[in-house]
Amino acid sequence: MDPMDITPAEAARRMATEDMVLVDVREPYEWEAGHVPGSTHVDMETLGQRLDEIPQDRPVAFLCLGGTRSGLVATTLKSRGYDAYNVEGGFRSWFEAGLPTEPDGATVAPH
């Protein structure tokens, strides 16, 4: 596990106790199929124009389907001074761990 990787359970705990922000970088159709309650959706395609929405004064975890796209984002933003983390295994692992998702009947959309 890379030092900036965190498990889905750890991300959920830190969201609840440390004010960690969770940013989902998946495509809109993936987000609509199912996402983490309280997360922010900023798909990778628009991330460059929406960096002002990513806080620099709080820890931020990034999430995609399996951890590859979010890992790239976390690595890039960490190099720019963000307290950035990658959710290991992405939304698929979050979903499989039985952690909260929305909407009702949420699913894991294929990439």
pLDDT value of position 65: 97
CA-nearest of 109, 110, 91 to 100 is 91
| Boundaries of domain holding 63 | 5-96
pLDDT value of position 57: 95
pLDDT value of position 64: 97
Say yes or no to pLDDT of 14 above 70. Answer: yes
pTM recorded for the entire structure: 0.95
Residues forming a β-bridge with 35: 102
pLDDT value of position 1: 59
Cα separation of 86 and 49, whole Å?
20
* Percentage of the residues of the chain whose pLDDT score is greater than 90: 95
Cα separation of 106 and 5, whole Å?
24
pLDDT value of position 22: 98
Say yes or no to pLDDT of 44 above 90. Answer: yes
pLDDT value of position 3: 67
Instruction: Please report whether residue 56 resides in a domain.
Output: yes
Contacts of 102 (CB under 8 A, 6+ apart): 34, 35, 36, 37
Catalytic residue among 36, 60, 64, 87: 64
Instruction: Please report whether residue 103 resides in a domain.
Output: no
Instruction: Please report whether residue 101 resides in a domain.
Output: no
48 catalytic per annotation: no
Which CATH number belongs to the domain containing residue 29 in this structure? 3.40.250.10
